[in-house]
């Protein structure tokens, strides 16, 4: 991964970021998987710090509940985008980009958060259709959505794309199969986009940056599915890990590029 530039933030500074109250003012940010778990908390937190959010997920009722909560708390009313990332086509993503362009003109942030666990089983026995579902939702859709939104992200003064990885993305582990491979792929994708958008004498047109967050073990449905015998009260809640998510979307992190930030290092 790209090394931290000398004037940039350390990972400790990102994890322990103290956001100023309006640090996301004026930013339009799309969050995938915004109806539940970490994504729901991130969406509400981004609004709290001044952003307008676009809530993308596959279950409209969950997204509408988050939208109502945001509006009732006095935040900018969010857009609700029902999209199943397993089946959405490139044409549907292009159509989404056109609608965002019409309504907002640009986009300042994109958090790829939606994901599924798949099976915890040896690769030798891994079911192909589950493997393909996991790869499509956790990995391929990140590529498709980023590609579709790239022109709008480049219009932002300081655009930020965050991918979501996991400990098994940086270090694959037996039995974690497609999930681990999808997260490895996501880390590679972030690095490639980072290199391809680097400011050089030939390419001066964007400040867009790409980074990965590994939230670490967090109290959500996915974690409970992965570790059914664990006592969830020992885990951090999504609310406990928001500082890193805010930091990497705010202009405090404009020099942070190509990093994989572990929010709960051991
Ligand atoms: N929790 C942890 O301990 C942990 C640790 C490391 C990494 N992560 C990563 O953090 C991210 C969030 O995880 P989480 O724990 O918050 O999981 P979660 O509670 O299961 O939430 C996942 C979200 O993704 C959405 N989603 C799933 N499939 C989708 C699809 N086909 N199209 C659109 N949206 C879809 C879900 O929508 P529905 O609710 O409608 O199904 C849900 O909103 C994931 O990328 C995960 O891999 C989590």
pLDDT score recorded for residue 206: 78
Q: Does residue 179 carry a catalytic annotation?
A: yes
Closest CA to 227 of 238, 211, 216: 216
Q: How confident is the model at residue 204 (pLDDT cuts 50, 70, 90)?
A: low
- What is the distance between the alpha carbons of residues 32 and 145, in angstroms, rounded to a whole number? 10
What total number of domains does the chain contain?
A: 1
For the chain, give the percent of residues with pLDDT over 90.
91
Q: Check pLDDT > 80 for residue 201.
A: no
User: Is 209 within 8 Å of 161 (Cβ atoms)?
Assistant: yes
- What is the distance between the alpha carbons of residues 114 and 205, in angstroms, rounded to a whole number? 29
Task: Read off the pLDDT of residues 81-92 as tens digits, 9 standing for 90 and up.
Answer: 999 999 999 999
Of 205 and 181, which is predicted with more confidence?
181
DSSP class of residue 259? Answer: -
The total number of residues written for the chain in this structure: 266
Q: What is the mean pLDDT of residues 164-169?
A: 97
Q: Check pLDDT > 60 for residue 1.
A: no
Q: Is residue 247 part of a domain?
A: yes
Q: Is 105 left (phi over 0), alpha (psi -120 to 50) or beta?
A: left
pLDDT score recorded for residue 8: 85
Q: What is the mean pLDDT of residues 205-226?
A: 95
Q: Is residue 10 part of a domain?
A: no
Q: Is residue 45 part of a domain?
A: yes
- What is the distance between the alpha carbons of residues 120 and 217, in angstroms, rounded to a whole number? 16
Q: Is residue 161 part of a domain?
A: yes
Atom 46 in ligand 1: residue holding the nearest Cα: 115
CB-count exposure of residue 130 (10 Å: 0-12, 13-18, 19+): middle
User: Is 23 within 8 Å of 46 (Cβ atoms)?
Assistant: no
Q: What is the mean pLDDT of residues 129-144?
A: 98
Q: Which residues of 85-120 are buried (b: 16+ CB within 10 A; e: fewer)?
A: beebeeeebeebbeebeeebebbbbbbbbbbbbbbe
Q: What's the CA-to-centroid distance between 16 and ligand 1, angstroms?
A: 24
Q: What's the CA-to-centroid distance between 225 and ligand 1, angstroms?
A: 11
The range of the structural domain enclosing residue 71 comes to: 22-262
Q: Is residue 252 part of a domain?
A: yes
Q: Check pLDDT > 60 for residue 104.
A: yes
Q: Check pLDDT > 80 for residue 4.
A: no
CATH number, residue 27: 3.40.50.720
**Active-site residue, from 46, 179, 227, 245:** 179
Q: Give the contacts of 152 (CB within 8 A, at least 6 positions apart).
A: 97, 100, 101, 104, 105, 106, 107
Q: How confident is the model at residue 5 (pLDDT cuts 50, 70, 90)?
A: low
- What is the distance between the alpha carbons of residues 115 and 33, in angstroms, rounded to a whole number? 7
- What is the distance between the alpha carbons of residues 62 and 117, in angstroms, rounded to a whole number? 19
Q: Is residue 17 part of a domain?
A: no
Q: Is residue 201 part of a domain?
A: yes
Q: What's the CA-to-centroid distance between 117 and ligand 1, angstroms?
A: 8
Tokens, residue 45: 């937190």
Q: What is the mean pLDDT of residues 226-233?
A: 97
Task: Read off the pLDDT of residues 105-116 as tens digits, 9 standing for 90 and up.
Answer: 999 999 999 999
- Using DSSP's 3-state secondary structure scheme, residue 45 falls into helix
Task: Read off the pLDDT of residues 8-64 as tens digits, 9 standing for 90 and up.
Answer: 899 999 999 999 999 999 999 999 999 999 999 999 999 999 999 999 999 999 999
Q: How confident is the model at residue 199 (pLDDT cuts 50, 70, 90)?
A: confident
Q: Check pLDDT > 70 for residue 6.
A: no
Q: Is residue 11 part of a domain?
A: no
**CB of 219 sitting under 6 A from ligand 1:** no
DSSP E strand boundaries for 33-108: 52-57, 79-82
**Average pLDDT value over all residues in the chain:** 95
Atom 1 in ligand 1: residue holding the nearest Cα: 218
């Amino acid at each position: 991964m790209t090394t931290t530039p000398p004037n940039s933030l350390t990972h400790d500074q990102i994890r322990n970021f103290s956001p100023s109250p309006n640090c996301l003012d004026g930013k339009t940010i799309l969050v995938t998987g915004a109806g539940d778990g970490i994504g729901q908390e991130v969406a509400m937190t981004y609004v709290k710090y001044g952003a307008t959010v676009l809530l993308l997920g596959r279950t409209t009722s969950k997204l509408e509940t988050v939208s109502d909560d945001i509006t009732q708390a006095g935040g900018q009313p969010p857009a609700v985008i029902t999209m199943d990332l397993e089946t959405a086509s490139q044409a549907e993503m292009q159509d989404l980009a056109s609608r965002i362009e019409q309504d907002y003109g640009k986009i300042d942030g994109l958090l790829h958060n939606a994901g599924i666990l798949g099976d915890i089983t040896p690769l030798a026995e891994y079911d192909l259709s589950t493997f393909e579902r996991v790869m499509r939702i956790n990995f391929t859709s990140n590529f498709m959505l980023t590609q579709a939104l790239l022109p709008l992200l480049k219009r932002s003064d300081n655009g930020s794309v965050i991918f979501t990885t996991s400990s098994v993305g940086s270090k694959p582990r037996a039995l974690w199969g497609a999930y681990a491979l999808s997260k490895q792929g996501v880390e590679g994708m972030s690095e490639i986009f980072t290199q391809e958008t680097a400011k050089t004498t030939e390419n001066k047109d964007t400040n867009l940056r790409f980074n990965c967050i590994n939230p670490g073990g967090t109290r959500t449905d996915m974690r409970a599915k992965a570790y059914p015998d664990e006592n969830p009260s020992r885990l951090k809640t999504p609310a406990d890990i928001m500082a890193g998510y805010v930091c990497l979307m705010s202009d405090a992190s404009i020099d942070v590029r190509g990093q994989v930030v572990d929010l709960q290092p051991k």
